[in-house]
Amino acid sequence: MRPVIYQLFVRHFANFTHGGEPWGTRETNGCGTFNGVTDAALEQIARMGVTHVWFTGVLRHATQTAHEGLPADPACIVKGRAGSPYAVTDYFDVDPDLAENVEGRRDEFAALLERCRRWGMVPIIDFVPNHVSRNYCSTVRPESSFGAHDNRGCFFSRDNSFYYLEPHSADMPLQLPEGEFLPERGRGRVTGNNVASWTPGAYDWYETAKLNYGSDYRHGSHAAESLPSLLAPEYALPRTWQLMNEVLAYWQDMGMGGFRCDMAHMVPLPFWRWIIAHARLRDRSAFFLAEGYDDHLKLVEGPVHEALLSAGFDGVYDGVAYESLRKIYEGGAWANDLDKLHRAESPMFRGGVRYIENHDEPRIASPLYWGGVGNLVTQAALVAQYGTSCGPVLVYNGQEVGERAEGPGGYGGDNGRTSIFDYTSLPRLQHWTHGGAYDGALMSPDEKELQCFTAQLLTLLQHPALAKGGFYGLNWANLETPGYGRRAGDTVSGHTLYAFLRHFRKTKSTLLVVCNLHPSESVKTRVHIPQNAMDWAGKKPGKYCFVPLLDTATPLCEIEDVALAGEGVPVELSPGRAQIFEWL
């Protein structure tokens, strides 16, 4: 089954408080809870075609909100009032903000996992292996905290938990953008984004300390050469490896079905091979999703995505596919440019995670991005992104109703993203959640249409041709086709129209997919299918029928094979819409 992952940010998703204020508190702006994600909510998510739910922001992290027995963290290491969920303070605990009864918070989360399983979906949470909050201290398993046995007198030592700065002054604490962090007086640690400085900047991950996996990250891809192999005995393993295995085992015992691994490319590859193998000894179906980028922070030579897939990940973020689609609206790219991304022989065709939103990226409906027209082309963008591969797909809560990041901000600012640092809400999603009723009573017609379309598309992704089939781009065969996404002044077609075939030989299933990526112009054209495409799809001479699967109001098309290359398949699409035809 093709994985369909719903990213559910608990703090936002089940927050039923309307309004709020910038930099508001939990009391003024509200906060979602585990108990707020009810059976009614999970039933609707399951009906959308979701297979995995990524519960985001679950682990206890640095915050400016105090709870009984859990004081607020120093303000200088907390971004926003609620705090970043990626500045973890206890790998074995959950965020008390998300509980109705703080003392029973882990029981409330365990009950949510059971509800999720009842609806046939696999629960996953974040695993944040690269860094922790500077205030990390496990209260659940204090014996498993980091740094207790470190040699702080050196930058790197194999069994240290952290990397330590060269002494600056015995009396000089770490100077952070929001103030001095007194606990790191004379014993400063490297930031999560590899900045070895006593004065990290405002755009650094200054609130976090980088974890050490037994190698010196400064040596890049060569750092892993001295690390243990997959079959190394326990005594040969760096201490951080052993602690992280304990972390994953803890959550798996609670019923966790997998992990979304934050900034996986910054952690040595031998560790990933080892930890994934050990997790699958406990649960053969354990699902591992990697956030990874081919940037200067990676610890491998060559393509990092393929390296992570080879280490055992089920999926790796396909940032290239995401950026390529966005560039049609922000960077002057064409739909014709997309074909090169979808080579069926590439590991990313089956292992790349496709998305148009996540918590790090702007909302597609935000007027600040996607050329200000993302809300008009969401349907076509979804089909172009999800329909061109076989790998996992990701849906971010609120995406399915056109959320625009209009909730109250704070540290997150007004940047087209729903802030992960603040107590905020999802105003458009609240039209569906309706105070916990999850009945959509307040939804507008446009919101209902997008939610219905999303569910229809996600369900259709299990079609054999989309879940297992190959890809054949058709834009090259339509460069001279009139009305085929050609703008004024273009000398060839294919600027804003994208068409392709998907075919699975075992079931002889073939789909024709056409996306009108233009925000304001309708399309009335014919898609030419050349003879070699027909050969590729195993089509013999005869009469064929193209049956619409998305908009069933579209009429059927019957056409002889000889007319496919010449006359072509007639297609009419409204602005920002797409159609998928079954080729029978």
Q: How far apart are CA 173 and CA 185, in angstroms?
A: 4
Are 189 and 209 in contact, with CB atoms under 8 Å apart?
Answer: yes
Mind giving me the DSSP string for 459-476?
Answer: HHTTSHHHHT-EEEE-GG
- Residue 18 scores a pLDDT above 90: yes
Q: Are 364 and 378 in contact (CB under 8 A)?
A: yes
Section 320-336 average pLDDT:
97
Euclidean distance between CA atoms 417 and 484, whole angstroms: 33
- Within the chain, all domains assigned CATH 2.60.40.1180 are found at 469-583
Residue 170 has pLDDT above 80, yes or no: no
pLDDT at 318: 97
If you average pLDDT over residues 187-207, what whole number do you get? 96
Nearest-CA neighbor of 507 among 457, 460, 467? 467
Q: Are 315 and 290 a contacting pair, CB within 8 Å?
A: yes
pLDDT value of position 304: 95
3-state secondary structure 398-441: CHHHCCCCCCCCCCCCCCCCCCCCCCCCCCCHHHHHHHHCCCCC
Non-local CB neighbours of 414 within 8 Å, separated by 6+ positions: 368
Q: What are phi and psi of 511, to 5 degrees?
A: -125, 145
What is the tens place of the pLDDT at every residue in 281-322?
999 999 999 999 999 999 988 899 999 999 999 999 999 999
Q: How far apart are CA 194 and CA 293, in angstroms?
A: 15
User: What is the overall mean pLDDT for the chain?
Assistant: 96
Compute the CA torsion angle 310, 315, 318, 319 (nearest 10 deg): -100
Please give the share of the chain, as a percent, with pLDDT higher than 70.
100
- The 10s digit of each residue's pLDDT in 446-457 is 999 999 999 999
Quick check: 553 pLDDT over 90?
Answer: no
Residue 28: pLDDT above 80? yes
Give CATH for domain 4-152+213-460.
3.20.20.80
Place of tokens 């960077």: 331
pLDDT, position 536: 97
Q: Please indicate whether residue 343 or residue 385 has the higher confidence score (pLDDT).
A: 385
pLDDT at 240: 97
Which pLDDT value is given to residue 222? 85
- Of the pLDDT bands very low, low, confident and very high (cuts 50, 70, 90), residue 128 is very high
What pLDDT is attached to residue 79? Answer: 98
User: For position 441, what pLDDT does the model report?
Assistant: 98
Confidence at residue 187, expressed as pLDDT on a 0 to 100 scale? 87
Q: What is the pLDDT of residue 408?
A: 86
Query: With helix as H, strand as E and coil as C, how does 357-378 read?
Result: CCCCCCCCCCCCCHHHCHHHHH
Contact at 8 Å (CB) between 578 and 514?
Answer: yes
Q: Is residue 563 within a helix (H) or strand (E), and if so which, with residue range? A: helix 561-565
CATH number attached to the domain at 469-583: 2.60.40.1180
pLDDT bracket for residue 220 (50, 70, 90): confident
For the cut 90, the answer to whether the pLDDT of residue 226 exceeds it is: no
Per-residue pLDDT, 543: 95
The three-state DSSP-derived secondary structure of 145-175 is CCCCCCCCCCCCCCCCCECECCCCCCCCCEE
pLDDT in tens, 505-552: 999 999 999 999 999 999 999 999 999 999 999 999 999 999 999 987
Mean pLDDT (whole number) for 84-91: 98
In the block, tokens 């039933």 appear at: 43
Give the range among 110-124, 138-152, 216-230, 464-478 with minimum mean pLDDT: 216-230
Ranges for all domains in the chain classified under CATH 3.20.20.80: 4-152+213-460
Query: In this model, does residue 169 exceed pLDDT 80?
Result: no
